[in-house]
Chain A
Amino acid sequence: MARGQAHDVDSLREIARQLRIDSLRMIHLAGGGHPGGSLSAADLVTALYFHEMNLRSEEPDWPDRDRFVLSKGHGCPVLYAALARLGYFDPQHLDTLRKFGTILQGHPDMNKTPGLDATTGSLGQGLSVGLGMALIGRLDRRAYRVFVMLGCGELDEGQVWEAAMCAAKYRVANLTAVIDYNQLQLDGTNDEIMPLEPLEDKWRSFNWNALRIDGHDMPAILDALRAAREHEQGPTVIIAKTIKGKGVSFMEDQLDWHGVAPNAEQLEAALVELGP
């Protein structure tokens, strides 16, 4: 699927809704996983995979494809759902999340899942991996771009800032970081655990182009991705304000839904809210 051909805003919203449903079903079946951060990232993942990124699902190793690194690896259910819907593998695999022998590991494993560009799960490493990819893209004179999705808690990790400084040094305009800024980490809010604001200033002090958007507003997401694409002087970070557990009222902004699977009853209630 080439960039921009894909879908209008309404159909993207519909896909995001489906990815949310898929994610919750998968996590429920697995009996474990991270629903909150999957739901918060659903619109961003949709915009990237179904609109912005240049991909060929029938050729997962296409050298000119855009790359995606899910640095917040625990949010992988929503990514697996997107890859399945794009045809990288049979959607039936979604039922095997986290089960022994599955291609869908608890955290992303590039050697097991078709379409995955990187192995992640230990927070703080993805931006560095993406930076390596971006530099090689430039060296190889390929036009691909690299997208790295970071969690907000992950910004506590010093390695993120090592990568930020280095990416600015190399002015890698083909690298875009997207922060799923749901403002909750495992033990509490960002402000309680380790405050991040003023976040744009921080990224700008590393010479990054910084944008802030509502990460559930599809047109705003698409606009920001376009702006990042058009910014040619260096890397861009999109600080996307999101809501953890977005789309399911009893999960929204609830710390407790960081890493707990819904039971059958809760899944049912969630699916009712998300619609048929």
Chain B
Amino acid sequence: MTTAAPKRELPTRHAYGETLVELGREDDRIVVLEADISKSTQTYRFAEAFPDRFFNVGVAEQNMMCMAAGAAICGRIPFVSTYAVFGSMRACEQMRTSVAYPKLNVNIAVSHAGLTAYDDGVTHQAVEDLGIVRSIPNMTVLQPCDAPSTRKAVRAAVEIDGPVYLRLTRIAMPILYDDNVDFQIGKAIRLRTGGDVTIVAVGDMVFQAREAAERLAAQGIEVDLLDMHTIKPLDVDALLDSATKTGAVVTAEDHNVLGGLGSAVAEALGEHCPTPLLRVGLQDTFAQSGSYGDLLRHYGMDASHLVEAAQRVMRRKQ
């Protein structure tokens, strides 16, 4: 386990923007496409450093997605940036047909995932994207929880010869890992070892899960905690290993409980190791405007709800 005491906070989109600049310096195949929100997605940093390799296409996400396909066909490694709502849904079919089907090395980095878009309201809160993108063949789907793992994820995305969907937060996240975190696509990171209940968390929910695990530990319940930063391909081995040991699983995601992490875990458990499961996330509802903390509480996604979910699912053990 490679964790560091929280030093400061940073939105993962900032780590993305910074890493793009580093990558741009190291590899001139990197190009960045943007749809008029470069200050939000942080690609303005790349634009300043490498204006020739930055293309702001205006508010036209579908066009942007296919332009990236054209650039990838010509040997470039494009990053496409926008909000998650638009990356996964406005340009959904373009991603599927022009990027995923020809299996091009296009990296789709999207900000404002889930409730981290908080007071912008529902139109800008993507709570469906993981389920949508997961259904598309050839896609790799990532949501690292903090800045250091995001930096690693951006680099890993470049190395994968195929499309990657990288989900980022609008708001600041604590720094959990140190800079040498062993981030590998498709390999969960075990944050805590325990034998009583498994919590599988992704993205910003990793922090709620950590806090829940600490509170449960105070009650004598030991949590096996996995940072499942790769939703697809899912680290089935790590999941089964943990589920076999604990016999009870909770998933935690800033997303609808239909289609995303909870679904992926349910599929894997059903096929390999039927285990009681509770899925924490938005219970198939749209949210509303509000502060991030208020929203997590209101929709039953904060640490105390996770504690409760863990207790409930443990009662269902055989």
Contact = CB atoms under 8 A, between A and B. Distances in A.
Asked whether the complex places CB atoms of A and B closer than 8 A, the reply is yes
Interface of A: 63, 69, 109-111, 117-122, 124-126, 128-137, 139-140, 158-159, 162-163, 165-166, 169-170
Contacts of B97: 119, 121-122, 125
29 contacts: A69-B70, A110-B102, A118-B98, A118-B102, A119-B98, A122-B93, A122-B97, A122-B98, A125-B66, A125-B97, A128-B94, A129-B69, A132-B72, A135-B67, A136-B70, A136-B71, A136-B74, A136-B76, A139-B53, A139-B76, A159-B60, A162-B62, A163-B63, A163-B66, A163-B67, A165-B58, A166-B60, A166-B63, A169-B58
A11 B192 CA distance: 74
Contacts of B66: 125-126, 128-129, 132, 159, 163
Contact of B103 (A111, A124, A129, A169): A111
A147 B90 CA distance: 26
A244 to B, nearest CB: 25
Nearest to B59: A162
A128 B70 contact: yes
Contacts of B282: none
A166 B69 contact: no
Interface in B18-77: 31, 52-53, 55, 57-58, 60, 62-76
A133 B76 CA distance: 10
Query: Does more than half of chain B's interface fall in helix, strand or loop, or is it mixed?
Result: helix
B299 interface: no
Contacts of B102: 109-111, 118-119
Contacts of A135: 55, 67, 70-71
A162 B60 contact: yes
B101 interface: yes
Contacts of A118: 69-70, 73, 98, 102
- Residue of A130, A133, A169 with most partner-chain B CB within 10 A: A133
A131 to B, nearest CB: 5
Contacts, number: 106
A126 B69 CA distance: 10
B52 A139 contact: yes
Nearest to B67: A132
B243 to A, nearest CB: 37
Contacts of A110: 73, 102
Contact of B74 (A140, A165, A170): A140
B71 to A, nearest CB: 4
Contacts of B73: 110, 117-118, 129, 132-133
A166 B67 contact: yes
Given A119-B97, A165-B58, A165-B60, A132 B69 contact: yes
B62 A166 contact: no
Interface string B185-208: 000000000000000000000000
A44 B101 CA distance: 28
A131 B67 contact: yes
A-B pairs, top 8 by smallest CB distance, nearest first, are A132-B70, A128-B66, A162-B63, A132-B67, A162-B60, A136-B74, A129-B70, A133-B70
A140 B93 CA distance: 29
Contacts of B70: 69, 118, 128-136
Contact of B98 (A125, A162, A165): A125
Contacts of B65: 128
A130 B55 CA distance: 14
Nearest to A107: B97
Given A125-B97, A128-B98, A137-B74, 20 more contacts: A63-B75, A118-B98, A119-B97, A119-B102, A120-B98, A122-B93, A125-B98, A128-B62, A128-B63, A128-B65, A128-B70, A132-B67, A132-B69, A132-B73, A136-B70, A139-B52, A159-B66, A166-B57, A166-B60, A166-B67
A139 B33 CA distance: 14
A8 to B, nearest CB: 33
B72 to A, nearest CB: 8
A140 B76 CA distance: 10
A103 B314 CA distance: 53
Contacts of A125: 62, 66, 94, 97-98
A131 B74 CA distance: 11
B60 A136 contact: no
Contacts of B64: 128
B68 to A, nearest CB: 6
Contacts of B103: 111
A251 B66 CA distance: 34
A132 B102 CA distance: 15
A62 B58 CA distance: 32
Nearest to B71: A132
A165 B67 CA distance: 13
Contacts of A139: 31, 52-53, 76
A82 B62 CA distance: 30
B71 A133 contact: yes
A79 B43 CA distance: 39
A129 B52 CA distance: 19
